[in-house]
Amino acid sequence: MKKVIVFVMVALLCAAKVKSQAKQSQMKTKINDTLSVRKGYSEVNGIKMYYEIYGKGQPLVLIHGGGSTIQTTFGRVIPMFALHRQLICVELQAHGRTEDRNTPISFEQDADDVAMLMKNLGIAKADIFGFSNGGMTAIQMAIRHPERSGKIIAASVLLKRDGTSPQFWEFMKNATFAQMPQSYKDAFMEVNPDRNKLMNMNLKCAERMNNFKDFPDEQLKAIKSQVMFINGNEDVALPEHIVAMSRLIPQSKLVIVPGGHGEYIGEITTLKQGYKNSDFIVPIIENFLDKR
């Protein structure tokens, strides 16, 4: 039986000036005066894909949630992770600064795009941390590109339709652009001030979830990577769903924390006023990643 951990963890937020190298056209800027970031675009399967690189050391790919940007999902924890490893942060098809293609978005295509970006950047293999829809992409990385996938952190994922309440699917079926969180709209427009592209991205995200198909058991059972599932006890996916999914993957760990969807990493829609860096679970994730 897999080990379930419910915890409160204390961590310190620090910042470090770091250097990194990449083969794509890049520009260097400063975050909070101390944390350096290199930004670029890469030709990936017919589109230009936007990425940011922070830190140095063992590579960790960060994959944002649906409708999001790098910063809305990971902005609060990037400085913490960048202390000890190289972060490759991506924006997926139609999201933020990345181009779209004349196809629906899918977790499979997103995984193929991430794998191609890694190849372009000369990264043979990396650990993968995906949140929400990005977590489903991380699982697809382990399924479709095991040679490039180290350890997987699958945070707040939903792998079966019955893993959440029927009300979720009813909401998705009737979702409108007006219901998209304003923080997501603002973040998109800040980096890509084209309202038509924003609306297109929102529509494609809704269509993907309305056409969602279960991840087959046989694919999950065949995953060779070590996988850490993280879920809030008030998350989209039910805790019992995440427990069941963790039992399908041979090398998996399960962490259930108090709170909602992404609260444990400061995701923008669940970020609380007056938050502290000790609210986030970076130390638990790093402990999982560091054990080789």
Whether residue 179 has pLDDT greater than 70: yes
Whether residue 31 has pLDDT greater than 90: no
**Residue 218 tokens, joined:** 């046989």
Mean pLDDT of 179-187: 97
pLDDT for res 33:
53
Domain coverage including residue 40: 4-290
Whether residue 165 has pLDDT greater than 90: yes
Mean pLDDT of 88-111: 98
Whether residue 138 has pLDDT greater than 70: yes
Whether residue 23 has pLDDT greater than 80: no
Whether residue 240 has pLDDT greater than 60: yes
Mean pLDDT of 268-287: 94
Mean pLDDT of 174-199: 97
pLDDT for res 267:
97
pTM over 0.85: yes
pLDDT for res 220:
98
pLDDT for res 4:
39
Share of the chain above pLDDT 70, in %: 88
pLDDT tens by residue, 200-237: 999 999 999 999 999 999 999 999 999 999 999 999 99
* Least confident segment among 15-29, 70-84, 266-280: 15-29
- How far apart CA 159 and CA 245 sit, in angstroms, is 8
pLDDT for res 34:
72
* Least confident segment among 7-11, 105-109, 263-267, 286-290: 7-11
Q: What is the CATH number of the domain that holds 61?
A: 3.40.50.1820
Whether residue 106 has pLDDT greater than 70: yes
What's the domain count of the chain? Answer: 1
pLDDT for res 85:
96
pLDDT for res 291:
86
Whether residue 5 has pLDDT greater than 50: no
Mean pLDDT of 257-285: 95
Mean pLDDT of 155-179: 96
